[in-house]
Amino acid sequence: MISPPKLTRCLSMTLLLLLCLLSGCDRDNTDSTPANDAPRLDTGDLDAIIKRGTLRILAPRFDGADALPRDDIPVEAYQRMAEAFAEELQVNVQWIFIDEFNELIPRLQRGEGDLIVTNLTNTPERRNQVAFSRPINMVDEVVITPREVSVADPPALSQLTLALAAGTAYFETLARLGEKTQLTFPVETLDSAVSDNDLLVGISEGRYQATVMDSNIANTLLLDYPQLHQAMTLRKHRAISWAVRKDNTLLLTRLNQFLVSHHLQAAGNEEQHRDWEGILKHGRLRMLTLNNAASYFMWRGELMGFDYDLLQKFAKQHKLHLTIIMKNNIGELIDALKRGEGDVIAASLTQSQQREDMGLRFSRPYLKVSEQLIARSDAGPIESLAQLGQQPIGVNPETVFYPRLQALRQEYPNLNLQLHPGTATETLIEQLAQGEFYATVADSHLFAIEQTHRSDLVALLELNGESPIAWALRDDQPQLLQQLNQFIKKEYRGLFYNVTYEKYFKNSRKIESHLAQRLVPGEPLSPYDDIVRPMAKQYGMDWRMVVAQMYQESKFNPKARSFAGARGLMQVMPRTARELGFSNLQEPQNGIAAGLAYMHWLEQRFPGDIDMQERLLFTLAAYNAGAGHVQDARRLAAQQGLDPNRWYDNVERAMLLLSRAEHYKKARFGYVRGREPVNYVKNIHDRYLNYLQLQ
């Protein structure tokens, strides 16, 4: 028997489906993105670009959105560097985003753009068509097979059929290997639109035997496919470069000069004990960090984090590229630093004598925090730890909190410490909210992040005075230490620092129901109803749902700007809007159009066999958190025995689990504060049902 709340939800969703169907009659005639203006063809060299005043850059649409960058330069860094190149030339930038990767070189040759900026493989065949810049990265080509399949050498590989997307550089690699070994490697050529993820799904389901993939992509995607593995390396150290037309020699020369001066060049990820001179020589600062809300995470496709933003600023000042190397816990960070896998630990690390005794040297503190005892908001106030009695306190024994609490046992012998080895502070806070123990301990800045979006927890006590948070280095890095200390001394409590601090620790992002808005039957729902109605119809959406989402995003303020930089009535990220063909998001018409175009693009990320109403809920969640986090939640739901095609009580439960380290460490897109998209979907749905009673 269905309970009344579930019955209400079922009826609501049925009504939602009917309304979506009624409003979506001309859906199939809608393009996924606004059409670009007809391109102006120009194959001129650098002098023509300077005369025109615009550098036209070709790139794949939403390039780099496949996963959280873990140990390579993210594509958004390429985009920033390309814009810096245009700035050096004293010209504007025009981004031309292409849906089909195979179209990049033909469009460059036709004169639709001047420069290709993406992960483009530098191969002999392509060198016949375009001129490549200096290498900007190096990757390996690896063969992916089921774990039970062993491929040790080319003869074994020749016994398999490789499924490859048309137009990839792997065909050329196989041809060269065939000439060298006198072997034939069977290939099943697939459509160029087939994604790397599609290939892995095909191998998992037995439709394909094997495929070839870039190592940096494989390292990330295989997190979701434990039944698959990298069976062999097909080719090592393959160059990734940017491209110009072959006769644009002046442009190529200036580009290479720029890349050298900005140190955007390939460098291996081998272990190196580097101080400042070595870092400058290689042009990269390798940041060892954790995937969490304070240091480094992805939100709506943007890379964020307090540590990440600060070190990005430092790197930019010295014309360095910041490479992110993620680890699972503090112990792994320290080991990686000692091995020379990275240059600096930037992960909200507390400076302590114990860690200094382990051989770490710390920078000047860039943050000072206190250790707080956290409990649920229904816990009564206390003045002393003695009042806790035997109430359990959840704590990770690997943190600095544990020895502090052990020392306090001398004064408070009844302290009941419940140990959770390897558990992140964010996970302990979520477990606390679920009632798994009475209290936990967190640094004040991490708890401040939690308080920006929730009100169900309180700080009962401060356990100590202020503790320093600093970056950690090895003993053999005195010059880097000096540079970081100078940076912190200059920036600490300055304008950039204060804005960044407010962004992460003070800016309230609590998701409210917003039901206080006065709603009158027959009256307009928003000041923008007349704009929304025709646009929503174009995309096959109920305009009232769009208005409900708009209110949730901006409260109908066209000048609204979020902590992450999203803008306008629909709070679209500028980079996303740019790739969809929109600008000036504070103009209501543009802000609404960009939001609807993005919603439509997101909806296409989910399989067609998902019910329409469920796809809409997934799309709303993806709009809030990013499509990647929703796909992670769907995969996790299936692993948990839940239905990956239903949101309520299924994928939403998995989304909440992605705030826990044991799950987000295995997820392609990593950590997400899952409560936000869960509340986001619920609040918009509730408001939409209210709107239905008025219009």
Tell me the C-alpha distance between 371 and 466, whole Å: 8
**Highest-scoring range by mean pLDDT, 190-194, 196-200, 452-456:** 196-200
Nearest of 437, 452, 511 to residue 687 by alpha carbon: 511
Residues 402-425: pLDDT tens digits?
A: 888 988 888 899 899 999 987 888
> Residue 123 — pLDDT band, cuts 50, 70, 90?
confident
Say if residue 647's pLDDT is above 70: yes
Residues 464-488: pLDDT tens digits?
A: 878 899 999 999 999 999 999 999 9
Query: Which of 423-427, 564-568, 638-642 has the least mean pLDDT?
Result: 423-427
Tell me the C-alpha distance between 435 and 456, whole Å: 11
**Residue 57: in which H helix or E strand, if any?**
strand 54-60
Collapsing DSSP states into helix, strand and coil, what is residue 470?
A: strand
Cα end-to-end distance, the chain, whole Å: 32
Tell me the C-alpha distance between 236 and 269, whole Å: 13
Say if residue 149's pLDDT is above 60: yes
Say if residue 11's pLDDT is above 50: no
* Tokens, residue 411: 């004064």
Say if residue 382's pLDDT is above 50: yes
Which ranges in 604-643 belong to alpha helices (H)? 612-625, 627-639
Per-residue pLDDT, 211:
97
* Tokens, residue 522: 């027959």
Which regions of 122-227 does DSSP assign to beta strands (E)? Answer: 130-132, 137-146, 162-165, 187-190, 211-214
Collapsing DSSP states into helix, strand and coil, what is residue 197?
A: helix
Write the CB contacts of 527 (distance below 8 Å, at least 6 apart in sequence).
556
User: Is 553 among the residues known to form the active site?
Assistant: yes
How many C-beta neighbours within 10 Å does residue 265 have?
18
Which CATH code of 3.100.10.20, 3.40.190.10, 3.90.45.10, 2.40.50.90 fits the domain covering 371-465? 3.40.190.10
Average pLDDT of the chain to the nearest whole number: 85
Domain 46-137+240-261 shares a fold with domain 371-465: yes
Q: Which residue has the higher pLDDT, 418 or 521?
A: 418
What value does the mean pLDDT take over residues 119-140?
87
Nearest of 132, 126, 116 to residue 55 by alpha carbon: 116
Per-residue pLDDT, 63:
53
Nearest of 427, 463, 457 to residue 443 by alpha carbon: 463
- The catalytic residue among 426, 553, 579, 676 is 553
Which ranges in 215-323 belong to alpha helices (H)? 215-221, 249-261, 276-282, 306-317
Say if residue 516's pLDDT is above 60: no
Tell me the C-alpha distance between 143 and 151, whole Å: 8
Say if residue 258's pLDDT is above 60: yes
> Strands 321-327, 284-290: parallel, antiparallel or unpaired by DSSP?
parallel
Question: How many alpha carbons fall within 13 Å on the CB side of residue 601?
Answer: 20
CA 181 to chain centre: 41
Tell me the C-alpha distance between 406 and 360, whole Å: 24
Per-residue pLDDT, 624:
93
Residue 392 carries which DSSP code?
E
Under CATH, what is the fold of the domain 46-137+240-261? D-Maltodextrin-Binding Protein; domain 2 (3.40.190)
Q: Which residue has the higher pLDDT, 507 or 49?
A: 49
Beta partners for residue 303, in sequence order = 298
Per-residue pLDDT, 515:
40
Nearest of 172, 185, 177 to residue 125 by alpha carbon: 172
Per-residue pLDDT, 695:
63
Per-residue pLDDT, 75:
64
Q: Which residue has the higher pLDDT, 27 or 368?
A: 368
What value does the mean pLDDT take over residues 449-458?
83
Write the CB contacts of 558 (distance below 8 Å, at least 6 apart in sequence).
568, 569, 586, 587, 588, 591
Tell me the C-alpha distance between 363 and 348, whole Å: 12
Tell me the C-alpha distance between 42 and 242, whole Å: 19
Q: Which residue has the higher pLDDT, 28 or 692?
A: 692
3-state secondary structure 93-136: EEEEEECCHHHHHHHHHHCCCCEEEEEEECCHHHHCCEEECCCC
Which regions of 457-544 does DSSP assign to beta strands (E)? Answer: 457-462, 467-473
> Residue 310 — pLDDT band, cuts 50, 70, 90?
very high
Per-residue pLDDT, 17:
43
Per-residue pLDDT, 58:
94
Per-residue pLDDT, 270:
62
What value does the mean pLDDT take over residues 248-265?
82
**Highest-scoring range by mean pLDDT, 216-220, 251-255, 259-263, 419-423:** 251-255
Tell me the whole-structure pTM to 2 decimals: 0.65
CA 487 to chain centre: 27
Per-residue pLDDT, 248:
97
Q: Which residue has the higher pLDDT, 18 or 346?
A: 346
**Phi/psi at 27 (5° precision):** -65, -40
> Residue 39 — pLDDT band, cuts 50, 70, 90?
low
Say if residue 38's pLDDT is above 50: yes
**Phi/psi at 178 (5° precision):** -65, -40
Write the CB contacts of 622 (distance below 8 Å, at least 6 apart in sequence).
602, 605, 629, 630
- CATH code that applies to domain 139-236: 3.40.190.10
Tell me the C-alpha distance between 366 and 375, whole Å: 27
How many C-beta neighbours within 10 Å does residue 638 have?
15
- CATH class belonging to 514-692: mainly alpha
Say if residue 513's pLDDT is above 90: no
Residues 226-247: pLDDT tens digits?
A: 899 999 999 888 888 999 999 9
Nearest of 300, 297, 299, 271 to residue 286 by alpha carbon: 271
Kindly list the domain boundaries of the chain, sorted by start residue. Answer: 46-137+240-261, 139-236, 276-367+470-501, 371-465, 514-692
Tell me the C-alpha distance between 661 and 663, whole Å: 5
Question: Which residue's entry shows tokens 């929304």?
Answer: 532
Residues 581-616: pLDDT tens digits?
A: 898 999 999 999 999 999 999 998 887 778 888 999
Which ranges in 370-467 belong to alpha helices (H)? 401-408, 425-433, 444-451
Backbone dihedral region of 167: left (phi > 0), alpha (psi from -120 to 50 degrees) or beta?
left
Under CATH, what is the fold of the domain 276-367+470-501? D-Maltodextrin-Binding Protein; domain 2 (3.40.190)
How many C-beta neighbours within 10 Å does residue 182 have?
7
